[in-house]
Amino acid sequence: MADFDTPELKEYPVIPHIQEGVMAHSKPFVAKEEFQEQLGFPGELVDNWEQVAIDKMGELTGKYRSLQVFLDSCVKCGACTDKCHYYLGTTDPKNMPVARQDLFRKVYRRYFTFAGKHFPKLVGATDLTKEVLDDWYSYFHQCSQCRRCSVYCPYGIDTAEISMAAREVMDCIGVGQKYCNEIIGKVYKIGNNLGLPQPALADTLEGLEEDIEDDTGVAVRLPLDEKGADVLVVTPSADFFAEPHVDGLMGYAKVFHEAGISWTLSSHASEAANFGMFIGSYENMRKVSLRIREAALDLGVKRIIFGECGHAWRVAYSFLNTLAGPFDFLDPKYPVPMHIMEFTYDLIQRKGITLDKSANDDMRLTYHDSCNVARASRMGPKPGGQFVLPREVIKASCNHFFDMPQDTIHEATYCCGGGGGLLTDDLMEIRVKGALPRMEALKHVVEEHGVTHMAAICAICKSQFAKVMPYYGFSMDSIVSVHQLVSNAIVLGNKQ
């Protein structure tokens, strides 16, 4: 199955002994010239790369105050050391969050602090060498930017932000990651990560409409580029294509149908994902986000609703107004943006849709909180809504729901192992090993409660789990979309 050993599922939790350097070989493919240049980065390692990198570090620490505070304030208390799923799954000490940060911090100290300039050995400061750069490329691509470590750090130091900065510095000297940069280029050229052009998208949606009608006898529309619709739905392109994502998309369509609200997808903004965040590039994140604004203006919609995608929701919830606002042309009655979970939850509360829970009686469910939703956003007006709303929608759609252990859910949730731009086959080993803590928590509810399926609201989590679950003895179709459950349970034709 693979040329590495899958970690053994243990009694949860066990903190492993360290094994130095065991993951030093793990590196993603480097982006070719064409993928670099379309994002405005040099095509290959520039001649004076050390100076360019140091200048960029200076620019970033000057621009992002938080980054400099994070680099200056670690007291080496060790609280974060056993909190990263990649350390727990690989045992490599450089996957401890504090050690990962130090790869960047030791260079920052050397060039930007008095002690590091004059007494480098005393403060653990080092020159930026090719060896250090190699370590950056390896270990900053073993961080899914999940922010779990920051929850346990008494100073709130966010390794994700350091990892984003390191990736941006590497892009600026010509050493970008193929997977992320190629995908961002596809969004610019075609509109989505999958490179699905408008005719193929239209064809796919037509096929889904036929599937729903064959299945239910009800004509439910999945409109594309429909001017004058009330709602623009921006969803990850995986929703158009892969299982179980596409079942979730059919769920959104059925909910809009029953609510009697006109909606549309857009071929121009046919991607909710925004990989600009993963590479730490504000400019690229902004360019991707602006397509949503352009589509909303062009179609004349009143609201924007995001589909099930974890980091897309973080970008939307936290940054969309700054990146692409103001959205003063939308209906001020609704939040900008809104999550599909808020929309469906609200309808359930108002009895605007009818759900027959028994339609999901073949499943016993648990729920995986996606990192970017859990630790970098909210849903609804109340704190913690991002934990409550998805669970309430699941419980309204099925009879059997069981949470995983408390220290693996909500704010303490473990990453799926494939986030932050790591969802590529060249990183399969780190993806499988990083999934270990989540798989152990899943095993717990499988044994305690006979759980058969895990629901999620993130395209990356769903793709990652479908791929790595078989390594741990679970079936690839035991991961489901939350709106897939809604789709199964919704009673069509009940509301007018």
- Which of these ranges, 61-69, 97-105, 218-226, 438-446, lies near ligand SF4 under the rule CB under 6 A? 97-105
- Is residue 472 a contact partner of residue 435, using CB atoms and an 8 Å limit? yes
* Piece of the chain touching ligand SF4 by CB under 6 A; list 152-160, 324-332, 435-443, 467-475: 152-160
Q: Min. distance of Cβ 464 from ligand SF4 in angstroms?
A: 13
d(CA 137, CA 491): 50
Q: Does 458 bind ligand SF4 (CB under 6 A)?
A: no
Residues 403-432 that bind ligand SF4 (CB under 6 A): 415
Give least dist CB 131 to ligand SF4, A.
Answer: 21
Position 86 contacts ligand SF4 (CB under 6 A): yes
Among 28, 93, 97, 116, binds ligand SF4 (CB under 6 A): 97
| Secondary structure in 3-state letters for the chain | CCCCCCCCCCCCCCCCCCCCCCCCCCCCCECCHHHHHCCCCCCCCCCCHHHHHHHHHHHHHHHCHHHHHHHHHCCCCCCCCCCCHHHHHHCCHHHCHHHHHHHHHHHHHHHHCHHHHHCHHHHCCCCCCHHHHHHHHHHCCCCCCCCHHHHHCCCCCCHHHHHHHHHHHHHHCCCCEHHHHHHHHHHHHCCCCCCCCHHHHHHHHHHHHHHHHHHHCCCCCCCECCCCCCEEEECCHHHHCCCCHHHHHHHHHHHHHHHCCCEEECCCCCCCCCCCCCCCCHHHHHHHHHHHHHHHHHHCCCEEEECCCHHHHHHHHHHHHHHHCCCCCCCCCCCCCEEHHHHHHHHHHCCCCCECHHHHCCCCEEECCCHHHHHHCCCCCCCCHHHHHHHHHHHHHCCCECCCCHHHCHHHCCCCCCCCCCCCHHHHHHHHHHCHHHHHHHHHHHHHHCCCEEEECCHHHHHHHHHHHHHHCCCHHHEEEHHHHHHHHECCCCCC
Choices 114-122, 149-157, 228-236, 349-357; region in contact with ligand SF4 by CB under 6 A: 149-157
The interface region with ligand SF4, picked from 93-101, 104-112, 274-282, 327-335 by CB under 6 A, is 93-101
- The rounded distance, in Å, linking the Cα atoms of 307 and 266 is 13
Nearer to ligand SF4, 157 or 208 (CB): 157
Comparison of 103 and 222: residue with beta carbon closer to ligand SF4 = 103
Of 148 and 186, CB closest to ligand SF4: 148
Q: Which of 53, 67, 80, 457 binds ligand SF4 (CB under 6 A)?
A: 80
Please identify, among the stretches 59-67, 153-161, 171-179, 445-453, the one whose residues bind ligand SF4 according to the rule CB under 6 A. Answer: 153-161
Q: In the complex, what is the shortest distance from the CB of residue 147 to ligand SF4, in angstroms, rounded to a whole number?
A: 5
Q: How far is the CB of 455 from ligand SF4 (least distance, A)?
A: 22
Residue from 53, 67, 153, 255 binding ligand SF4 (CB under 6 A): 153
Whose Cβ is closer to ligand SF4: residue 85's or residue 364's? 85
Which among 118-126, 144-152, 174-182, 278-286 is the span making contact with ligand SF4, rule CB under 6 A? 144-152
* Identity of the residue, 191 or 437, whose beta carbon is nearer to ligand SF4 in the bound complex: 437
310 is an interface residue for ligand SF4 by CB under 6 A: no
Q: Which residues contact 72 (CB under 8 A, 6 or more apart)?
A: none
Give least dist CB 43 to ligand SF4, A.
Answer: 28
* Angstrom distance (rounded) from CA 307 to CA 472: 29
- Smallest separation (angstroms) from ligand SF4 to the CB of 383: 22
| Residue 324 is a binding residue for ligand SF4 (CB under 6 A) | no
Is residue 26 a contact point for ligand SF4 (CB under 6 A)? no
Rule CB under 6 A: is residue 123 a binding residue for ligand SF4? Answer: no
83 binds ligand SF4 (CB under 6 A): yes
Question: Three-class SS string for 153-188?
Answer: CCCCCCHHHHHHHHHHHHHHCCCCEHHHHHHHHHHH
Instruction: Quickly count: other Cβ atoms within 10 Å of residue 27's Cβ.
Output: 17
Residue among 36 and 159 whose Cβ is closer to ligand SF4: 159
Nearest approach in angstroms of CB 400 to ligand SF4 is: 31
The reply on whether position 144 binds ligand SF4 by CB under 6 A is yes
28 upstream amide cis, omega within 30 of 0: no
**Of the candidate residues 6, 26, 159, 267, the single one contacting ligand SF4 (CB under 6 A):** 159
Shortest spacing between CB 390 and ligand SF4, in angstroms: 21
> Least distance in Å: CB of 32 to ligand SF4?
26
- Residue 93 binds to ligand SF4 (criterion: CB under 6 A): no
# binding residues, ligand SF4 (CB under 6 A): 27
* Minimum gap (Å) between residue 430 Cβ and ligand SF4: 10
Tell me which residues touch ligand SF4 (CB under 6 A). 74-80, 83-84, 86, 97-98, 100, 143-149, 153, 155, 157, 159-160, 163, 415
